[in-house]
Amino acid sequence: MSAAETLAPSTHSADDEQQLRRVYDMLTAEESLSPRPRHYLVGGVEDDPVEIPQEVYEALLRVVDAMRKGLSVTVSPTSQTLTTQQAADLLGISRPTLIKALDEGQLPYTRSGTHRRIALTDVLDYRERRRQAQYAAIDALSFDVDETRDIEETLTNLRRARKAVAEKRRAARTT
């Protein structure tokens, strides 16, 4: 497979749904055990089982989970290093926004001639850091609204919270 391929679930019969459920249950049955259980793929020859690497196990688990929910799955081979456009697409941001993050040192990269290359693991780490920062911002801006309080007091408290978050963001940029 050299390009992205989308696998759309066909109309499942009751047998297909039961089989997907059994595969999912088998994959998740021992998740909480330590050490992690080993999983094997068995082919046509009985004495030829092959241990599944953790990454393949996790991908298989996600595919089976999505398919049993009736969702399509896209499998897209990706290089370990990405172009700026590929990284921006993966992050769901524009290429200029990514370039700005690279220039600000928020994300490490290497140069190949005049082109920047970014390690996939660094892009995934950056995505997780951004996600955690977004959750923190949401938490900082949220507060319980007491319906018995004056609306002007509530709005004033909200403005103060927004101002505090903006000040933290500015302070973080200057350090």
- CA 12: distance to chain centroid? 28
The per-residue pLDDT for 11 is 64
β-strands 50-51, 40-41 pairing? antiparallel
Mark the ranges of the chain whose per-residue pLDDT is less than 70: 1-4, 9-12, 32, 34, 46-47, 141-146, 175
CA distance 158 to 141: 7
The per-residue pLDDT for 99 is 96
Q: What is the DSSP letter of 31?
A: T
The per-residue pLDDT for 144 is 65
Domain ranges of the chain: 5-75, 81-174
Domain 81-174 has CATH 1.10.1660: yes
Q: What's the predicted TM-score (pTM) here?
A: 0.51
The per-residue pLDDT for 56 is 87
DSSP letter string, 77-146:
---SEE-HHHHHHHHTS-HHHHHHHHHTTSS--EEETTEEEEEHHHHHHHHHHHHHHHHHHHHHH-----
The per-residue pLDDT for 145 is 62
